[in-house]
């Protein structure tokens, strides 16, 4: 038995499924999850000492790679003067100012510890601000596991949502309308019929939770238009895209201004930190100024904020995102080229530092199209790559991430591994 096997067996005794977040369990690809002991730059080492080129980066946060010295130093130095106070610190003001400067739609922000909290708080705030209950989300978008957001499409034309998890009351899910991503006409129709009862649209401006699906021209613009017309709050969930597809997030990349936004992952540099924020007139409805309650014992934790600030500083180096985008594009182009040479139906795309690769001839544009890709083939590909020392997301339905620490040699090694994997499929 490998040490990974031993640790997995041990973990399953007292942790459901042996993991603290389900996708880590390798259920969709099969096999034993790798237990990691160390990460440095673009690489991670598992419990058996095997090295991998890492394209997950803790699911997005590690845009500078693992254990960046400036972030490690910020964490250690801050921790030495206290881990948490449950009282405000100057660093939080600095973080708020930095965020409002980098993302122009942010006038005020509040810090939380997870993207889940940020999204559920933004939805509560939008409901409190508008005095409406209904929200719109899109199938395949993930906004954390808040009850109102763990909702899938129901049957029928106008999709009042059904719970997407046991434990979510159907009465609550019914307030969430689930539409298809990139379905401009569907959005217009729902707003024409009931726009004045809709508190908010929440959307991933580039979806990274059903593999990667990019917005079609006009889609985000339509969301902006209908929200403006009907007094609904447009929430961009930039937990994944923020500071990754561009310094100012997807909203800067596509030039659309949401009313509220959520951030997480990159913003904390690998520590638990997330953000929601936006228009001051909306944010002023939050306690203690207003009637919408939201709080957190560890919100704005000094160590997490210090890590986030240290990482954000690097992202402001001129050309940072252009270089990251070029590297990510080179990876995708290399893999797609290798697949074509071996005759495998495979496609890929990238937006900034995130990418999607698909076992389908064309890049998917919606949830049903993503679902049509060849999952079984992906699973075999995944294991070939894992054996070759390349750690991709253990699911065909997750985006991948490149960091600034990945070198041309890492990309070349990955493309060579992919070529061998395609040939062996
Ligand atoms: C990861 C993610 C979340 C949830 O963030 P957590 O920190 O895991 O709670 C929400 N929205 C999007 C788009 C995400 O990618």
Q: Do 323 and 361 sit in the same domain of this protein?
A: yes
Task: Please name the residue whose Cα sits nearest to atom 8 of ligand 1.
Answer: 115
Q: Do 253 and 328 sit in the same domain of this protein?
A: no
- Centre of ligand 1 to C-alpha 149, Å, is 11
- Looking at residue 264, its pLDDT comes to 98
Q: Do 77 and 194 sit in the same domain of this protein?
A: yes
pLDDT digits (tens, 9 = 90+) for 174-183: 999 999 999 9
- Centre of ligand 1 to C-alpha 209, Å, is 9
CB 292 within 8 A of CB 60: no
Range of the domain at 256: 69-315
pLDDT digits (tens, 9 = 90+) for 18-66: 999 999 999 999 999 999 999 999 999 999 999 999 999 999 999 999 9
pLDDT at residue 68 above 90? Answer: yes
pLDDT digits (tens, 9 = 90+) for 106-127: 999 999 999 999 999 999 999 9
Task: Please name the residue whose Cα sits nearest to atom 6 of ligand 1.
Answer: 115
Which position among 52, 142, 358, 367 bears the catalytic label?
Answer: 142
Rounded mean pLDDT, 218-244: 98
- Looking at residue 246, its pLDDT comes to 98
Atom of ligand 1 nearest to the CA of 117: 9
Question: Distance from CA of residue 373 to its chain's centroid?
Answer: 21
Last residue of a domain, one of 252, 283, 315: 315
Task: Please name the residue whose Cα sits nearest to atom 5 of ligand 1.
Answer: 115
pLDDT at residue 157 above 80? Answer: no
- Centre of ligand 1 to C-alpha 420, Å, is 33
- Centre of ligand 1 to C-alpha 190, Å, is 26
- Looking at residue 160, its pLDDT comes to 84
Atom of ligand 1 nearest to the CA of 141: 13
CB 163 within 8 A of CB 145: no
Task: Please name the residue whose Cα sits nearest to atom 10 of ligand 1.
Answer: 143
- Looking at residue 60, its pLDDT comes to 98
Q: Do 103 and 49 sit in the same domain of this protein?
A: no
Last residue of a domain, one of 315, 347, 378: 315
SS3 for 99-124 is HHHHCCCCCEEEEECCHHHHHHHHHH
- Looking at residue 383, its pLDDT comes to 98
pLDDT at residue 361 above 70? Answer: yes
What beta strand segments (E) does 305-386 contain? 347-351, 354-358
pLDDT digits (tens, 9 = 90+) for 372-390: 999 999 999 999 999 999 9
Across 306-334, b (16+ Cβ under 10 Å) vs e yields bbbbbbbeebeeeebbeebbebbbbbbeb
Atom of ligand 1 nearest to the CA of 274: 7
Q: Do 90 and 45 sit in the same domain of this protein?
A: no
Task: Please name the residue whose Cα sits nearest to atom 15 of ligand 1.
Answer: 240
- Looking at residue 365, its pLDDT comes to 96
Question: What is the CATH number for 261?
Answer: 3.40.640.10
Atom of ligand 1 nearest to the CA of 209: 15
The rounded distance, in Å, linking the Cα atoms of 60 and 423 is 29
Q: Do 114 and 231 sit in the same domain of this protein?
A: yes
- Looking at residue 159, its pLDDT comes to 74
- Looking at residue 158, its pLDDT comes to 63
Give the DSSP H or E segment for 397.
none
Q: Do 106 and 249 sit in the same domain of this protein?
A: yes
Q: Which of 22, 209, 245 to mutate to test the pocket of ligand 1 (most atoms within 8 A of CB)?
A: 209
Which position among 237, 327, 358, 410 bears the catalytic label?
Answer: 237
Q: Do 363 and 306 sit in the same domain of this protein?
A: no
pLDDT at residue 72 above 90? Answer: yes
- Looking at residue 153, its pLDDT comes to 84
Ligand 1 environment, Cβ below 6 A:
114-116, 119, 142-144, 204, 208-209, 237, 239-240, 264, 274
As for how many domains the chain has, the answer is: 2
Rounded mean pLDDT, 135-157: 90
Question: What is the CATH number for 396?
Answer: 3.90.1150.10
- Centre of ligand 1 to C-alpha 205, Å, is 13
CB 99 within 8 A of CB 275: yes
pLDDT at residue 272 above 90? Answer: yes
Cβ neighbours for 191, distance < 8 A, ≥ 6 positions apart = 198, 226, 229, 230, 232
Q: Residue 154 — pLDDT band, cuts 50, 70, 90?
A: confident
- Looking at residue 170, its pLDDT comes to 94
Q: Do 245 and 274 sit in the same domain of this protein?
A: yes
CB 421 within 8 A of CB 388: yes
Active site residue 237: yes
pLDDT at residue 240 above 80? Answer: yes
Which position among 265, 358, 367, 410 bears the catalytic label?
Answer: 265
Active site residue 265: yes
Q: Do 9 and 77 sit in the same domain of this protein?
A: no
- Centre of ligand 1 to C-alpha 94, Å, is 24
Rounded mean pLDDT, 270-297: 98
Kindly report the average pLDDT of the chain as a whole number: 97
Residues of the chain with pLDDT > 90, as a percent, come to 98
Q: Which of 144, 258, 395 to mutate to test the pocket of ligand 1 (most atoms within 8 A of CB)?
A: 144
Q: Residue 156 — pLDDT band, cuts 50, 70, 90?
A: low
- Centre of ligand 1 to C-alpha 109, Å, is 17
Active site residue 188: no
Q: What share of the chain is helix, strand, coil (3-state, %, to 5)?
A: 40, 15, 40
- Centre of ligand 1 to C-alpha 143, Å, is 6
Atom of ligand 1 nearest to the CA of 240: 15
Last residue of a domain, one of 315, 333, 364: 315
Pairing mode, strands 36-40 and 43-46: antiparallel
Strand partners, 276: 110, 262
Q: Residue 105 — pLDDT band, cuts 50, 70, 90?
A: very high
């Amino acid at each position: 038995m490998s040490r990974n096997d031993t640790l997995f067996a041990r973990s399953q005794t007292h942790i459901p499924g042996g993991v603290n977040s389900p996708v880590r369990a390798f259920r969709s690809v099969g096999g034993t999850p790798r237990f990691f002991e160390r990460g440095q730059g673009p690489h991670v080492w598992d419990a058996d000492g095997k090295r991998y080129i890492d394209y997950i980066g803790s699911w997005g946060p590690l845009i500078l790679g693992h254990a960046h010295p400036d972030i490690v130093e910020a964490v250690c130095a801050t921790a030495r003067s206290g881990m948490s106070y449950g009282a405000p610190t100057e660093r939080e003001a600095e973080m708020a100012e930095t965020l409002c400067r980098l993302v122009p739609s942010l006038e005020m922000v509040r810090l939380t510890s997870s993207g889940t909290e940020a999204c559920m708080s933004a939805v509560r705030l939008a409901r409190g601000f508008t005095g409406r209950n209904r929200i719109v989300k899109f199938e395949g978008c993930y906004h954390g596991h808040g009850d109102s957001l763990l909702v899938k499409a129901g049957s029928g034309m106008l999709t009042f949502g059904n719970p997407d998890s046991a434990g979510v009351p159907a009465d609550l899910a019914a307030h969430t309308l689930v539409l298809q991503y990139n379905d401009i006409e569907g959005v217009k129709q729902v707003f024409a019929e009931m726009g004045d009862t809709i508190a908010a649209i929440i959307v991933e401006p580039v979806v990274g939770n059903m593999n990667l699906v990019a917005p079609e021209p006009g889609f985000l613009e339509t969301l902006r238009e209908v929200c403006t017309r009907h007094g609904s709050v447009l929430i961009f969930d930039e937990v994944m895209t923020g500071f990754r597809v561009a310094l100012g997030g997807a909203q800067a990349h596509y030039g659309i201004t949401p009313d509220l936004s959520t951030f997480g992952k990159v913003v904390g540099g690998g520590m638990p930190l997330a953000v929601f924020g936006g228009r001051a007139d909306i944010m002023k409805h939050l306690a203690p100024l207003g009637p919408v309650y939201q709080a957190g014992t560890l919100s704005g934790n000094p160590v997490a904020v210090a890590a986030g600030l240290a990482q954000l500083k690097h992202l402001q180096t001129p050309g940072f995102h252009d270089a990251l985008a070029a590297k990510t594009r080179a990876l995708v182009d290399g893999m797609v080229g290798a697949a074509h040479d071996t005759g495998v139906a495979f496609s890929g795309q990238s937006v900034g530092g995130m990418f999607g690769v698909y076992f389908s001839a064309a890049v998917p544009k919606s949830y049903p199209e993503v679902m049509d890709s060849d999952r079984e083939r992906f699973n075999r590909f995944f294991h070939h790559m894992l054996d070759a020392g390349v750690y991709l997301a253990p699911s065909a339905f997750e985006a991948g991430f490149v960091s600034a620490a990945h070198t041309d040699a890492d990309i070349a090694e990955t493309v060579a591994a992919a070529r061998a994997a395609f040939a062996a499929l």
